[in-house]
Each structure stands twice: as C-alpha cells, then as structure tokens.
Chain A
Amino acid sequence: MAGRSAAIIGRIAQAVPVIIGVVVISFILTRALPGDPAVQFAGLAATPESIEQVRVKLGLDKPMPEQFLIYVGQLAHGDLGQSIATGRPVAEELASRLPASLELTLVALVLSCIIAIPLGVLAATRQGTWVDQLCRILVTAGVSLPTFFTGLVLIYVFYYLLGWAPSPLGRLDFVFIEPDRVTGFYLIDAALAGDWETWTGALKQLILPAITLALFTLAPIARMTRASMLSALSADYVRTAKAAGLGSRQVLFTYAFRNALLPVVTTLGMVFSFVLGANVLVEKVFAWPGIGSYAVEALVASDYAAVQGFVLTMALLFVVLNLIIDLAYSTIDPRFGTGAR
C-alpha cells in the first residue's frame, strides 16, 4: 500500500513543473497573438487617443516583465484576473461555465460508454457477425460526422419536424428558474433541492446535445474495446483459463474483460479531456453556455486574462484527470505502484 501512495504523491509532484510551464507559456502566447485588445475594446468609432486611453486603462502600456509579475502576483492570491469582454472575474466565469460543460460531457460519456463498451465486447466475441458490422458502421459514422452536423440534424428532426424535443435554448428553458447553486450541475442541484420539475426540464435540454456528443465519442471507445478484447481473448491466460475448464462467462469477464479495460480507460481519459475543450460547435448549436465557446470568444477578442484562465484551468483539469486515471489503473491492475512491470 505504501508503494501506491508514494506513486500517487510522485504523480502530483510531477504536475508542479507542468503548471509553472503552462503559466509562463500561456502568458507569452496570448501576448504573441496578433490582435491588439486596446483596438478591439476601443469600440466602433475610435481615434488614436481613445485607443491609447483604453491601452492605459487595461494596463497594457506597462513593460511585459512588469505585466507578468502583476499576473503571477494575482495568481498567487488565487485571482485569475478580470475579463475585459465580460467585465467579471475570470474565476467566477469559469466556475459558472465549467459545470455546464462538465455536465454535458459527463452525461454524453456515460451514454456513450453504456453503448460503446457492450458493443465493443460483443463485436469482439462475435467477430464477423451482424453485431460486428453494426459496430463498424456506428464507429465510422461517429468519426466521420462532424458534431455540428449531427446536432443540426437532431434539432431538425426532433425539434423542428417532430416537436418532441424542447427548444434548443441552452441548459434550461426560460419557463424554469435555475436551481440554487450548489455544484453548478443542474441535474444534481435540482435533485438536491427536491425540485423534480426543473430536474426533468434540465434533463430534456440535455438529451439532444448529449446524444450528439455521445455519437462522436462512441467511436474511439467502441474501437478500443473491440481491439483490446480481441487481443485479450487470444492471450495465453485466457487459453489457460479455458483449458482449466472455467465457465465461458467467468473467462470473458474476470480474465479477458478486466485486462482489456486498461487501454479503454486510457482512451476514455483522452476522449474526455479532448471533448471538454473541443465541443465548441455543439455548444454553439445548442446555445449551451459552456467553457469552449467562452474560450473561443475570448480568443477572438484578445481577452488576455480570460484566455490565460482557460488554459490554466484546462491544464489543472488534465492533471487531475490523469491522476484519476492512474488511480483507476491501480484498482484494475494490481501491479500498479509495486514496481513490477
């Protein structure tokens, strides 16, 4: 057990230089962007004087090293700075938008795991049958259909034509009031408040965007499950287990599936972090107030503090996610942390 906690602490220690690197690089990269925030925020009719006034107001007339020191000083106090575009603290903005993205991504991933993993297992055990073909079709479609397209088709069919889905107007229709904020996840907050009407409302809004994202994430998970199941099923230990006369169910789940799960978990982690930052298009189509569209808007407007805050948050999230994946390994794989490889 001691080996395991040491490994975890080692993992956390490894994250420190990463974070420092991210702080420096995100600061330099945002300044290297070609846009000029002073011009951007001086408004429609600007004169050289008014642009200069804005530059001074934003503190951008100071030399770069001084700006960096101010930024690091603020960070040390947990202050991510103030977004110019929205006039709010970046930390507050991210805290309100991150849960929206996380809720959507998590629901989509759970949905896609429920479909993809059994499908992958079935495809591997019944190679060449219709299940395998179905898996192949779904995977190909999932990879090749752009998310905004799937989203628009779903809106067209289920909202516009059939009228089954609620208006694609973000996290909650305007007849509902958002639940008291505890976690920022509407489903959890509404459940905590015991307000099932809002809970149902929030769930209804979630269904279409979650399906859109699930179709997209399904592909890598199903493929990976199938491939790793195939290699596990042809491994020596499965043959030994079969030879020892163990039941086919036990061979499949205890021996093959548990070993096949490792690469699937890795893929899952990668897919999760990728989707969280990359579902901008889904957010735009469904008017979802998520972190992806926030970052894109900040980038377009050269809103330095917001971009830096976003990059830093994503970096922290990656670190935490990798840690969680490592912990998941340690549960699945008994060799973890013991030095035996």
Chain B
Amino acid sequence: MSFSRRDFLKTSGVLLGALPFARAIPASAAPRDTMVAVISQTINSLDLHRVGTNRASYQIAVNCYDRLLTFGSKTLPSGELSYDYNKLEPELAESWTVSEDGKVLTFKLKKNAVFFDGTPVTAHDVKWSFDRSVSVGGFPTTQMKAGGFERPDQFKALDDETFQITLDRPSKLALPDLAVPVPFVINSKLAKQHATAEDPWATEYLHKNTIGSGAYKVARWDNGQQVVLERNDKWVGGPLPAVRRVIVREVPSAATSRALIERGDVQVAFEIPDKDAAELASKLKVYSTPIENCLHVLCLNTKFEPFRDDNVRKAVAYAVPYEAIFKTAAFERGAPMWGGTGTVDSIAWPQKSPYDTNLEKAKELLAKSGFPNGFETTLSIATDLSAWMEPTALLIQEALAKIGIKTTIEKIPGANWRTASLVEKRLPLHLENFGGWLNTPDYYFFWAYQAGHLFNSSNYDNPEVNKLVDETLHMSMDDPEYAPKIRRVIEIIFNEIPRIPLWQPALNVALNGAEGYEFWFHRQLDLRTMKLTEG
C-alpha cells in the first residue's frame, strides 16, 4: 500500500497544538489545510526589534503582527503578483488624515481590532510600540528614522482610537515607512507585565512570544528547526487567510529543499538559488521576481589611486562581460542592467546603465588614463555570497586581464565582510549588493551614493550628488523639481560610475501544491495571500 505523507497531509486537518496528548496526528477526513514552507535560513527570534534578529525572522513581524498601514497589490507585466508601493491601504488604521503642512498624521484605529488574548487594540498600544521601535536602537531605530520618526514625543494617543504623529518636516517617506515590517503594534499591557527595570521594552519576553493582532500566531517555535503558525480567526487587518496552519521548516541545504519541493512533500520552497529556479521552471510554478530597488554591482573604491581616475572607472565599466555574467552567475533570473541608451529620460530606478561590453573602447579609455599600462589590484568577494559573487568575479578577472588590469580574487569570510566592505570601506575593487525597502531612487542614492553612508562602499563623494540627494530625499515625487533633480543624479553617477550595475537580482520561489504568492520588498514570505491547491 502506498501512503505518502502528501496524502496524509491532504486528509489530516487536526492541529498539533490542539492535541497535546496525541503523539502523531491521526489521519481524518477533514480538508487539507496545512501548508509546509521550507526556508534556507534560520529564524532566530520572534521579535524584529531585538539586537541580533536576522532577516529570516522578519517574516514573524509580517505575518503575526499588524502595522497601521500596508501596501496594496498589483500584477506585474510577467503576470506575477507584487505589492504596490504606490497604493497604501489600511491594516490596523481604519482611516488617516494628513495635515495641510504635511507634518501631522492622524490615524483612526479599527474599532473591532483585538490582540490574540482578546484585549482591544488601542492608540496607547500603538504609542508604546512606536516608542519602543525608536528607543531600542540598532536597525529598527535606523529604519524609523528614514521615515522621519526619531523620538517618542512625536507620537501621541489622543484617545483610545486616535493616534497622532507629528513630523519635524513633511516627507514622502513617512507614510510608506509605516507599512514596512518595523513599526508593528504590540499588546502593550501584556508586554509591560513582562518588562523589568533592566529590560523596559520586554525584549526577553517578545523574543519568545508573539503578542500581536496579526493574521497568524506562533503555535510552536523549535529554535533552529521550525516555526508552526496558526491562523488567527479574529484578524481584522485584511481578508482572512485561506490556509489554517503553516509549518515553516528550516532546510539549509539547497539540494535537499529541491528534492522536497519536487516530490511535493512541501508546498513552498522560498528563496531558492537562481540555478535551481532556472532548472525547476519547466516542472513547477517558479516565481523569479526582480527585487525592486536592488542591484548587484561592481564597486570601484575612489579612495584608491587607480580608481580615482575617471577613465579607469569607465574602462572597467566597458570591460565587464555583462551578458556572460548574467547567464553564468544569475542563470538569467532577474533583469539585465547594461546597454542603456545613454540619455537619462526616466527617473525609474534601477535603470540600464549606458555601458556595454566593448573591449576596444575599454583599452582606448585606459590608454588615455594615468595608467596606460594597466595595474594590479585585488577583487574582493564574500565567502557566504559566493553563489553569485564567485562566478561573477572570475569572469570579471578574466575580462580585466584582457585590458591589462591584473586582479587577485580575495575571499573574505562572512563575519568580516560587512566590516571590511561597508564599515571600514577598505576594499579597492569588490562586489556589492544593496536593496532599499522604500522604493524611491533618492532612498537608494542616500544609502549607496551619498558620502559617509553605509552602503557607499566606493567612498564616492560628489558635492552635487550629496546636495541633490539631500534635497530630494523628503521631497514629494509630484514636485515639478523632483524628476529633473533625480535625472541629474543618475546622469552624474552613470558618467562617473563609482558603482557599475551588473544586474537586478531576483527573488526565487518555487510552489508545488500552493498558489497566491505575492512578492514583497522585504523579501519574506507573506502567508496571508497563500492558498493550497489540489494536486
């Protein structure tokens, strides 16, 4: 008799948590309602605000907590579903108003919203949660600052249902920044019961417990193995999710994940390598969505002599074998970012750079530079990102050798990579990736091109770019001055080319027995739209 676990899951609908005495879930005739998703990283905390919480853990904030606002969805030209940066929708807030001067944001909360324990969600909970995110320090505080939220005195609970934010200056980033995973709303009464003098924000308690009002609650968390989520039937943040129970299992080996999804023992394989995505595309439903506002780039550090020379940077940009890299390293997942027209007529970002592989031109430019006979340098890559960095680096090394630039490839271990590349910015030539959560070009330029900022690992410092980014960062995108200023920045950074765009990477997700996948800028699996399918 053949009785695979797939059939078993199809027919079993009994909850693990509801059956503390059962050792195994008995097969019953209930409809299939459990979805299994595999991820390659580990979820190391249930609290996004904690110091040390990794990226995979953000999915808990997404699925188990609510924010005031969320983004709507749109269908991409490829037919894939994606969140829509330009469409803000209510989640916990029923409605909101923005004052004439754009500085005061007032939110009315949904009256029927309750936390998991049944207590109503009030503006005081929102206030406490926002205070927490701007006070704990580290990543949440930095992300809040991007929207102009810096101090607790900016947040006020006018009454139980009305919450008000006062900004120091109007900003187009303020409202979207309320829909990112960070400003989630916590049950403050329960949290305060677990707060101590040393730990006023109850980080110890929230690390292991979810006390929100979101679509799912954590039924079980086996650290390093799995998280089991159950639907919260009282959720009012949106339409009730179709899947009642989700098991998120951690499988570090890509080959194992692939075997599991192909066999159909799991329904979702999240963030699979480009190679597997390309090979599975003919067999299963595979989504490869180019990640918004995100680029894989080759950085030329302008602190180092050869790369201070405009002609050297351009020569490198013309020597890079873009096509071969896109085929070998990205397996053609994502979007090409080379061979543009040369005139900047849109403010879309990322957009194709004017460079293409042209060795003659590269040699010509190098001959004109201060280094006509070439030079030697190191090309640095991170060991834990070697999946895309290693093939890319090898191809670049080979191409640069043709124009007389000798490179040695240096692999830097994961723990040291961020320090060397981003903090100390001491790598002359290296590969880098940055993606901005807030999808505006100025936000990308702020982190990656403005002097002194973390992802500006090229040490690029152009007074005009610095000034234009400062001016556009909070400016409304409808402002008539906005587009010309952004176009000017793009012209400058393409001309001076301190970061050479290689391609826009994709987020790959394979489904087998599930549908409803939607791409989100935070690159986490949003379970709320997922559905199970027969077969």
Interface centre among A35, A54, A57 (most CB of B within 10 A): A35
Check if A285 sits within 8 Å of B24, measured CB to CB. Answer: no
A41 at the interface (CB under 8 A from B): yes
Check if B262 sits within 8 Å of A287, measured CB to CB. Answer: no
A46 at the interface (CB under 8 A from B): yes
Of the listed stretches A132-140, A217-225, A295-303, chain B binds A295-303
A120 at the interface (CB under 8 A from B): no
Can you show 12 pairs from A to B with CB atoms below 8 A apart?
A: A35-B419, A36-B415, A45-B454, A96-B223, A160-B259, A168-B251, A169-B260, A174-B228, A176-B23, A177-B22, A286-B253, A302-B415
* Option from B45, B50, B249 in Cβ contact (under 8 Å) with A169: B249
A 163-191 to B, binary, CB cutoff 8 A, 1 in contact else 0? 10011111101111110000000000000
Check if B265 sits within 8 Å of A167, measured CB to CB. Answer: yes
* Option from A54, A97, A287 in Cβ contact (under 8 Å) with B253: A287
A293 at the interface (CB under 8 A from B): yes
Given contacts A34-B416, A176-B23, A287-B253, contact A41 B51 (CB under 8 A): yes
Of the listed stretches A82-90, A107-115, A333-341, chain B binds A82-90
B309 at the interface (CB under 8 A from A): no
Q: How far is the CA of A42 from the CA of B249 in the complex (A)?
A: 26
Check if B51 sits within 8 Å of A84, measured CB to CB. Answer: yes
A54 to chain B, nearest CB (A): 5
Q: How far is the CA of A201 from the CA of B23 in the complex (A)?
A: 11
B 72-87 to A, binary, CB cutoff 8 A, 1 in contact else 0? 0000000000000000
Closest to B46 in A: A87
Closest to B2 in A: A163
Chain B residues positioned under 8 Å from A166 (CB to CB): 5
* Option from A34, A47, A93, A152 in Cβ contact (under 8 Å) with B255: A152
Check if A286 sits within 8 Å of B256, measured CB to CB. Answer: yes
Closest to B34 in A: A174
16 other contacts beyond A35-B414, A174-B228, with CB at 8 A cut-off? A34-B413, A36-B416, A36-B418, A37-B415, A87-B53, A87-B207, A156-B259, A159-B259, A167-B5, A169-B251, A175-B8, A175-B24, A197-B23, A197-B24, A285-B256, A297-B42
Chain A residues positioned under 8 Å from B341 (CB to CB): none
A321-336 interface with B by 8 A CB criterion: none
Check if B263 sits within 8 Å of A159, measured CB to CB. Answer: yes
Q: How far is the CA of A96 from the CA of B223 in the complex (A)?
A: 10
A43 at the interface (CB under 8 A from B): yes
Chain B residues positioned under 8 Å from A178 (CB to CB): 222
Check if B415 sits within 8 Å of A287, measured CB to CB. Answer: no
Chain A residues positioned under 8 Å from B453 (CB to CB): 47
Chain B residues positioned under 8 Å from A87 (CB to CB): 44-45, 50, 52-53, 207
A259 at the interface (CB under 8 A from B): no
Chain A residues positioned under 8 Å from B9 (CB to CB): 175
Q: How far is the CA of A54 from the CA of B50 in the complex (A)?
A: 10
B 380-423 to A, binary, CB cutoff 8 A, 1 in contact else 0? 00001000000000000000000000000000011110111011
Given contacts A41-B51, A85-B52, contact A36 B256 (CB under 8 A): no
B200 at the interface (CB under 8 A from A): no
Given contacts A36-B419, A177-B24, A294-B224, contact A45 B5 (CB under 8 A): no
B 147-189 to A, binary, CB cutoff 8 A, 1 in contact else 0? 0000000000000000000000000000000000000000000
Q: How far is the CA of A93 from the CA of B45 in the complex (A)?
A: 14
Please report the number of residue pairs spanning A and B whose Cβ atoms sit closer than 8 angstroms: 167
B369 at the interface (CB under 8 A from A): no
Chain A residues positioned under 8 Å from B4 (CB to CB): 163
Check if B413 sits within 8 Å of A300, measured CB to CB. Answer: yes
Q: How far is the CA of A293 from the CA of B250 in the complex (A)?
A: 12
Q: How far is the CA of A276 from the CA of B206 in the complex (A)?
A: 34
Q: How far is the CA of A45 from the CA of B436 in the complex (A)?
A: 9
Given contacts A163-B263, A301-B414, contact A195 B51 (CB under 8 A): no
B234 at the interface (CB under 8 A from A): no
Check if A301 sits within 8 Å of B25, measured CB to CB. Answer: no
Chain A residues positioned under 8 Å from B50 (CB to CB): 87
Check if A195 sits within 8 Å of B259, measured CB to CB. Answer: no
Check if A39 sits within 8 Å of B225, measured CB to CB. Answer: no
Closest to A58 in B: B51
Q: How far is the CA of A197 from the CA of B453 in the complex (A)?
A: 57
Closest to A168 in B: B256
Chain B residues positioned under 8 Å from A169 (CB to CB): 249, 251, 260
* Option from A54, A97, A170 in Cβ contact (under 8 Å) with B137: A54
Q: How far is the CA of A57 from the CA of B136 in the complex (A)?
A: 10
A 17-43 to B, binary, CB cutoff 8 A, 1 in contact else 0? 000000000000000011111011111
Q: How far is the CA of A37 from the CA of B418 in the complex (A)?
A: 10
Check if B249 sits within 8 Å of A86, measured CB to CB. Answer: no
A50 at the interface (CB under 8 A from B): yes
* Option from B42, B139, B414, B416 in Cβ contact (under 8 Å) with A42: B139
Check if B423 sits within 8 Å of A43, measured CB to CB. Answer: no
Q: How far is the CA of A155 from the CA of B257 in the complex (A)?
A: 11
* Option from A41, A47, A159, A195 in Cβ contact (under 8 Å) with B454: A47
A92 to chain B, nearest CB (A): 9
B449-463 interface with A by 8 A CB criterion: 453-454
B252 at the interface (CB under 8 A from A): yes
Given contacts A54-B51, A167-B5, A287-B252, contact A88 B223 (CB under 8 A): yes
Chain B residues positioned under 8 Å from A205 (CB to CB): none
Q: How far is the CA of A43 from the CA of B23 in the complex (A)?
A: 40
B433-454 interface with A by 8 A CB criterion: 447, 453-454
A147 at the interface (CB under 8 A from B): no
* Option from A40, A93, A168 in Cβ contact (under 8 Å) with B259: A168
Chain A residues positioned under 8 Å from B259 (CB to CB): 155-156, 159-160, 168
Report the 3 A-B pairs with minimum CB-CB distance, sorted nearest first. Answer: A35-B415, A43-B139, A53-B137
* Option from A41, A51, A148, A167 in Cβ contact (under 8 Å) with B260: A167
A134-158 interface with B by 8 A CB criterion: 148, 152, 155-156
Chain B residues positioned under 8 Å from A171 (CB to CB): 225
Chain A residues positioned under 8 Å from B53 (CB to CB): 43, 87
Closest to A152 in B: B255
A 42-80 to B, binary, CB cutoff 8 A, 1 in contact else 0? 111111001101100110000000000000000000000
Check if A51 sits within 8 Å of B143, measured CB to CB. Answer: no
B247 at the interface (CB under 8 A from A): yes
A4 at the interface (CB under 8 A from B): no
Chain A residues positioned under 8 Å from B414 (CB to CB): 35, 300-301
B431 to chain A, nearest CB (A): 18
B226 at the interface (CB under 8 A from A): yes
Interface centre among A44, A97, A284, A286 (most CB of B within 10 A): A44
Chain B residues positioned under 8 Å from A176 (CB to CB): 23-24
B59 at the interface (CB under 8 A from A): no
